[in-house]
Structure 1
Amino acid sequence: MVAFIPGRAQSGAFVQMISPEGSRQFAVSHLSVRGGVLRADGCRFSRRGCRIRLPGVRGEIRYGSFASLGSDIMGPFRFFPMECRHGVLSMAHSLWGSITAEGRRYDFDGGLGYAETDSGTSFPRSYLWMQCNDFPEPCSLMIAIARIPFCGLAFRGCICAILYRGKEYRLATYRGVRICSFSPEHIRLSQGSLSLELDVCPAQAGHPLRAPKQGKMSSTIRESCNAHLRARLTQGGKTVFDLQSDHGVYEFVPEPQPGQEGIL
């Protein structure tokens, strides 16, 4: 598993890279987006694939057709001012190619990809985010639960999308989801006849990534690339799936303690 995060902030443009072995941050002198293609110095990202030209990291990965969601994951909240807007470009797409990083070759032939976007000024003060599409059956899952400031107040919001055997399941605050249980290791959601239960066990504390705060990449979060995940979805009391993976990607930022409100 390797992820690349190209972006631009008030503090400058960048590309971040994370894998189970660690994370790296690269400063970028030029970043542009034109015609659906993002260029960051020698790197190129589009719906057709990515070309990586970074110090010690080179390669190219081609993508198959994107598996997009039926509608914007933010729902009606996309029309309101938000400190962070999330987007899901593809829940799963086929991969061909390889990346060589510091002499180690990562082969992606026959693998699956995932693509998303974030825009805004700051990540939520506290949140959980997880994504996985490496299950024994065709299933891709993403979930985010976060403290959302909204119109002078704050609430705990949830967005969750599942693509299982070609069918989309959506659980979200704007669809009336109830967060029945929530901790770093266990989540249970209920929405109408749907019930989702997640058990998470990160393999390690995660690797550091830079995160936005008030427009600058001045905060640090930690992301685990190989968390163990068990996901169980039921509908009307009947099991839709009960699947496990050792390759979940996971971030958890707890609510700051008193006196630490400026720390992520």
Structure 2
Amino acid sequence: MVSVTTRIGQVKQPRGGYINPRDLSVVELTDGIQLHPAENIHATLVGLAVDYLTRFTLGTSLEEAFAISLRGARNVRELDYAMELISGINGLDDHSIENACQLVGFDVAFRNSLAAYTPVQSIQPDHFTISNIRTMVKRVIVFSKKYGPITKNGFTFEGGYNQTITTGDGDFLTETGLWDLKVSKSGPTNKHTLQLLVYYLLGLRSLHDEFDDIKELGVFNPRLNRVYVLPIKDIPSDVISEVASEVIGN
């Protein structure tokens, strides 16, 4: 299986990228809160916890929000423990966030390989990490009210995959926007912007007609509390054609 992110890692982009991140407009959202500079668990786990807890907070069932985590747990025969963790997630209290951080540790057993999995019991977020995750989830909720409503989360591209890209799932759709959630300490890279464009093109090829209404691609980074947006009409047609043919293929 080749995912969107794996495929993008294989591609040599032109100088500056197919879409230069500097072409995105930036909007600062302010809440007066300073995140703690250090977290004691891997950034990937933090990002997944923020993503899935946001989906749950916005109304998605726990089983659906943490679906990939549960698949990973099943692969390592730890589904009972995963269900125990999921039963302890009730909101954004400390215990719920601790459980979410352990639960997303199962993702690697589905997304990558069984060999990459390490027991999730070792994932013990400290007070500062828990506080940061809580703040970032709340920031995504504020973002969703300003730029939403969010019409779909955790979307996939049935009918759009091919032999080059066989898997991939995006974060959020609004009525006219396709959004990716990033919690990195810096702004988007050209890999991130290419990922957005590939998601959009896969969406157009898919069975889902909601992608026909998408007019902008964007990244929201709740760590930086910044919104990055690019209207699709501003992407040169030759860039779209080249990405469709050379990155995605037939």
- Shorter-normalised TM range: 0.3 to 0.5
Greater strand content? 1
Scaled by the length of structure 2, the TM-score of the pair is: 0.33
Scaled by the length of structure 1, the TM-score of the pair is: 0.32
Greater helix content? 2
